[in-house]
Chain A
Amino acid sequence: MSSPGSGKTTTLEKTLARIMPDVTSAVIVGDICTTHDADRLAQTGAPVVQVNTDEFGGDCHLAAHVIEKAVTNIDLEAIDLLIVENIGNLVCPAEFDIGEDARVVVLSVTEGEDKPVKYPLMFRECDAALLNKIDLLPYLDYDKKAAVAYIHQIHPDMPVFEISAKTEDGFDPWINWLKSKVDQKIN
């Protein structure tokens, strides 16, 4: 989950490239319109189900009944990990339980340090945060310490992984966290 344009799809593309084929994965991707994200993610070789919420009333989030319908297109027995890329929105997706085992929020450094306190529910509900686009830090007046402090003010002890989905800097700890979550679930 994240606001629009924070890098969810690029992060997923790079993540899938690193965990596949060890962790067999599938993706449900939600967008109000277009199949651009699904087309990009399908390149990774993972089965991708696109949900356009237009069909469900142009909703601002994916709801459980939408996921229930989408998973009928996926061979769940054949996969270790099902990733749901929610609608780009820092408000509504946090509110609705879709049956997930873990939730991750992507926050990019171009969005401003105080987003966690402006959208507390999202940061409260998630299990980990990815602070994305750190390759841009030299060009921004961004107080990274303040951003992480804000995240921890909402959700103390939440893991924050500083990454660049473009350069893949910082990916190892994030991938290890994700793999450990899959292991926990399987075992």
Chain B
Amino acid sequence: MHEMGVAMQIIEIATASIPDEMKGSRVERVNLKVGKLAAIVPDSLRFCFQIASQDTPLAGAELVIEELPVLASCNDCRFQWTINEPVFVCQKCNSGSIQLLSGRELNIESIELAEKDEGNVDKDL
């Protein structure tokens, strides 16, 4: 629903993170991590990114989305499991005291810039 706004912010953040000496380089790839419990639809985000990146330094860049599972850990029995349905209770001891180890991410991990005749350069964020 809000993927266009998120796409525009990704473009803004990625554009600002291009080092001065590499301004003007083409951005080949933006690597993103998105948790399954983030309210983000990857297909919509890719679609919006493609449109919103036109006429920016990210035009034509590929948005690579790694989806992270909702991983939970029980504070009582230390059991770890992947949550695949809306039940946030320990599968082993039934405790409600759990923490989420992953699943809420919406992180730009890196952008990859094309360098003239020198292949790709990773820029960690």
Residues of A with Cβ closer than 8 Å to B? Answer: 57, 59-61, 63, 91-92, 94-95, 116-118, 120-121, 124, 152-157
Interface residues of B in 2-47 (CB under 8 A from A): 2, 4-5, 37-40
Which of chain B's residues have a CB closer than 8 A to the CB of A116? 86
Chief secondary structure at chain B's binding surface: loop
- Cβ of A59 and Cβ of B5 under 8 Å apart? yes
- Cβ of B39 and Cβ of A121 under 8 Å apart? yes
**Considering only CB atoms and an 8 Å cut-off, how many residues of chain B contact the other chain?**
16
- Cβ of B5 and Cβ of A57 under 8 Å apart? yes
- With A59-B2, A59-B5, A91-B1 already in contact, the answer to whether A153 and B39 are too (CB < 8 A) is no
- Cβ of A153 and Cβ of B87 under 8 Å apart? yes
Residues of B with Cβ closer than 8 Å to A? Answer: 1-2, 4-5, 37-40, 86-89, 95-98
Q: Which residue of A lies closest to B94 (CB)?
A: A156
Chief secondary structure at chain A's binding surface: helix
Which of chain A's residues have a CB closer than 8 A to the CB of B38? 95
Pick from A59, A63, A92, A157: contact of B96, CB under 8 Å: A157
